[in-house]
Amino acid sequence: MEDLFTVITALDNEEITRDKAHKKMASWGKTTLKKHLDAAGLGGEKLPPHPETLAKILLSLTRPDPENRRLITPKTLEAIVTGKLFDDDPPDLKQRFALRQGNKVKVMVLRDRPGQPPRLEQDFELAGADLPAEIMTEIPEAPEDPDLSTPPEDPDIPHGTIETVARSYYRVDIKLVYWIPYRPNKFPIPTRFLPTRWKFATMSQEQRMAARAMLATGNPPPPRTFPTKASWDKLVASKEYRGVTHHLLFVCCPGERPKNDLDYLNKAGYTPAPSEVPATPANTLAKRLNDDHKDQQTVGSIAESLLNSDTGTEITGVPGFAVGDQYEDAAALIKELCDETNESFSEGERHYKYTPAADCFSGNWDFAVRVGKAHNLLNYAATGKLIAFQGGDLGFKLCCSDGKLKLHYKYSAIPSQALYINNRRVWKHDMLSADWEKVEECFYTPTRYATWGSKAELKAALESKKMSPRPFTKDVEFPLVSTTGCPTPIPETWIYDRDI
């Protein structure tokens, strides 16, 4: 059978119009369409044998409700006939056909409704009249008093066909946290040590300075677990991260319907001012670092001092070391594009896109972040390069047939990243373990030349959505434990280390 779910998903996500969906369904032919209607409990064998009409009826079973979820509750033909699916309709009648129920014949109409799916109902105006010949010729033979609410068995019904029962469900919490690791150091930024894998890499003096400055603005590592919602809210409120994303997947079985991705949070994080907090005592480092970040000079005052510099000495920290002609372009754009702020944390920018897929319950979350425009321009002033969006593309798949959550993650060298399933960390990427060559790919030269007069080109590059390469991959799989029932609404109680 043709895959109804693929068409309806594309329709729900506005990838195709309702007219195109109707034509696609009609092209399947009456046999396939009647199988789908049988599975929906509508007794497809007793409907008119016209693919165009059958496709309209099948399409009418889907509509957005106030929460933009498709109607998946099984409806009998009687429920549709008596108008229990929708409340109001316009008076226009488009199509009539006859439906035999035992010795009785009902005249059915399809009403088209502006902005909504058509509805199938009984035409009471012709209930006691002689039926027109063109309607009577459409009446198929039917057994005596069929039970229209019970769908026949059909082993060929694919996933995505409207289900009549849903006896169990899966619910799983997924989080990603991005951060820059803090390197405890009492030395001034120009003389700080770089991590081992970067220390002997080939890089310019400007790149070494940028790497030291980046690590000086690092965050304490996020917790290994979030046993309560309050513990998660505490991290979000601390601003000690570069990006966070949080999803709750819910699916009923069999058939992966209904299914929902409760998209709670997709947020760019923050860049704090550089710190010189010592490493010891280790058990208080996170608090001391966060307190220091809150008490540092503000982002606005940092930018102000840099703009007042003729040579960019404040950027490099080396007296008499000028950063190059690109400094003037960066300084001019900071004045033009960046609002003055007294915040000690500078909010970054984010890129997010969700792409659903048709296989079981599956899709991709593309989530990437970068520093805010002021910090990006400061990096350009120092190195001649802008920072691209960094992060990853997380693909997920959850099938009722095996009850496993399968994740495929493609990600960039920076920042550090942690994956949480049901609020327990199950995987971590340490950016300090990546070779500098991969880290350097997250920076790019935005202009053809670094001289006065390239400001327009720099501005266009800054406002583009340049993405870092994602050379690394990670595949993980978790068997889940189902729960009896298919509750409405979806339970949103906190899940901690459950079902994995």
Condensed to tens digits (0 to 9), the pLDDT of residues 259-304 reads 899 989 999 999 998 888 887 888 888 899 999 888 765 555 555 5
Average pLDDT in the 213-227 region?
Answer: 93
Q: Which tens digits make up the pLDDT trace of 91-129?
A: 443 344 445 444 555 555 555 555 555 555 555 544 444
The Cα angle at residue 421 between residues 431 and 468, in degrees rounded to 5: 35
Higher per-residue confidence, 37 vs 443: 443
In a 13 Å sphere around the CA of 264, the CA atoms on its Cβ side amount to 16
The whole-number pLDDT of residue 328 equals 75
In angstroms, how far is CA 42 from the centroid of its own chain? 35
Residue 345's pLDDT band (boundaries 50, 70, 90)? confident
What gap in Å lies between CA 126 and CA 215, rounded to an integer?
Answer: 79
- Domain chopping of the chain, boundaries: 4-136, 168-484
Q: 92-101, 185-194, 327-336, 469-478: which has the highest mean pLDDT?
A: 469-478
DSSP-derived secondary structure for 396-447 = EEE-TTT-EEEEEEEE-S-SEEEEEETTEEEEEE-GGGS-HHHHHTTEE--S
Q: At residue 347, does pLDDT exceed 70?
A: yes
Q: At residue 18, does pLDDT exceed 60?
A: yes
Q: Which tens digits make up the pLDDT trace of 457-479?
A: 888 888 888 999 999 999 999 99
